[in-house]
Amino acid sequence: MTSVLTLAGVSKSFGAARALVDVDLEVHPHEVVAVVGDNGAGKSTLAAMLAGVHQPDSGAVLVDGEPVRLASPATARQRGIAAVFQELALCDNLDVVENLFLGHELEAGPFLDEVAMERQAWELLDQLAARVPSVRMPVSALSGGQRRTVAIARALLGDPRVVVLDEPTAALGIRQTAQVLTLVERLRSRGHSVVLISHSTADVQAVADRIVVLRLGRVNGVFDADAATSEDLLAAITGAAPAAPRTRRPGAAPVEGGPR
């Protein structure tokens, strides 16, 4: 199967800290790929790289097998990759419609086309079965789950092929977590590929097709979600003896100088 999005041997350092080392990742169409790992494993850096916030020091990012440079979030979006960040990146002072279309406003002549935007906002939120009291409320007045829904809905606006969700269930209650996970499944059934970044193995096993484990910036195992047990995942996350049957890359000791 051809992959929509591929990372090939990608490394990224921040000063002396090596956030990602020689990471390979493939995202296939209509697939939920989960990336799990402990704090500091490089998950958020990976998300930021897919979203175009950071650029890799070495290695390649390929979209449809073609090398691309995701120089900014806008370029990533043009390439069909949209991200929802951990901190949601919503403007509290703007209302739901304004946030949804921020940076991609619809215009009629020189002016904003509020009517068209408001209408599309309702359609989108209905498709996601999202309950928001009013699209003309400032997002500061919404609950945590509603804010997350707005952030996810915003990512869907350009009809991206890959949606990157960075810790979408962090700091959410049980019910809201379930809602977000249902939303992830709805994204897949709408035809999007999803990269789900999380530290919760339970959430990931509930919705993912494949699970990639990051440890200290390296890929420490790729699992089939159906076959992998929590013990396998925990072992790969913590670096305990990697005995999982589906492991492709056993945990390697950190080596200096990114290998190719």
Partner 1 sequence: MSAGEDAGALRSLWRRMRAGELRMLPIVVALLVIWVVFGIANPTFWTAENLVNLSLQSVSTGVIALGVVLVLLVGQIDLSVGSVSGLAAAIVAVGSVQWGWPLALGVVVAVVVGMAVGLVYGIACTRLGLPSFVLTLAGLLVLAGVQWRVLGTDGSVNLPFGSWLVRFSQSWFVPAAVAWVAVVVVVLVVAGVALLERRRRVLVDLPAESLGRIAARCALLAVVLALVVGYLGRARGVGVSVVFFLALVVVADVLLRRTRWGRSMRAVGGSRRAALLAGVPVRRTLVSAFVACSALAAVGGVLAAGRLAAANQGTGGGDVFLTAIAAAVIGGTSLFGGRGSAWSAVLGVLVIQSIANGLTLLDLDSAARSIVTGVVLALAVSIDTLVRGRRET
Q: Tell me how far apart the alpha carbons of residues 252 and 154 are, in angstroms, rounded to a whole number.
A: 38
* Residue closest to 250 by CA, chosen among 237, 236, 238: 236
Nearest distance from C-beta of residue 84 to partner 1, angstroms: 10
* Residue 73 interacts with partner 1 (CB under 8 A): yes or no: yes
Chain Cα centroid distance, residue 167: 8
The encoded tokens of residue 8 equal: 């090939």
* Residue 161 interacts with partner 1 (CB under 8 A): yes or no: no
* Residue 137 interacts with partner 1 (CB under 8 A): yes or no: yes
* Residue 79 interacts with partner 1 (CB under 8 A): yes or no: no
Q: Which of 8, 94, 178, 225 binds partner 1 (CB under 8 A)?
A: 94
* Residue 140 interacts with partner 1 (CB under 8 A): yes or no: yes
As a 3-state breakdown, the chain gives helix, strand, coil percent values, each rounded to 5, of 30, 25, 40
Q: Give 18 or 154: the residue with its C-beta nearer to partner 1.
A: 154
Q: Which of 51, 181, 184, 187 binds partner 1 (CB under 8 A)?
A: 51
The encoded tokens of residue 75 equal: 């370029």
User: How big is the site for partner 1, counted in residues (CB under 8 A)?
Assistant: 36
β partners of residue 195: 33, 164
Nearest distance from C-beta of residue 96 to partner 1, angstroms: 13
Stretch that binds partner 1, among 59-67, 79-87, 193-201, 210-218 (CB under 8 A): 79-87
Phi, psi (deg, nearest 5) at residue 21: -130, 110
* Residue 98 interacts with partner 1 (CB under 8 A): yes or no: yes
Stretch that binds partner 1, among 85-93, 189-197, 234-242, 246-254 (CB under 8 A): 85-93
Q: Which of 9, 40, 138, 242 binds partner 1 (CB under 8 A)?
A: 138
The residue behind tokens 């906002």 is 121
64-85 burial: b if 16+ Cβ within 10 Å, else e: eeeebebeebeebbebbbbbbb
Q: Which of 17, 71, 141, 227 binds partner 1 (CB under 8 A)?
A: 141
Q: Tell me how far apart the alpha carbons of residues 231 and 234 are, in angstroms, rounded to a whole number.
A: 5
* Residue 53 interacts with partner 1 (CB under 8 A): yes or no: yes
5-19 burial: b if 16+ Cβ within 10 Å, else e: bbbbebbbeeeeebb
Nearest distance from C-beta of residue 179 to partner 1, angstroms: 23
Nearest distance from C-beta of residue 61 to partner 1, angstroms: 18
Stretch that binds partner 1, among 66-74, 177-185, 232-240, 248-256 (CB under 8 A): 66-74
Chain Cα centroid distance, residue 199: 13
β-pairing, 162-166 vs 193-198, is parallel
* Residue 105 interacts with partner 1 (CB under 8 A): yes or no: yes
- For binding to partner 1 (CB under 8 A), which residues are involved? 51, 53, 72-74, 77, 83, 85, 87-94, 98-99, 102-105, 107, 110-112, 114-115, 118-119, 122, 137-138, 140-141, 154
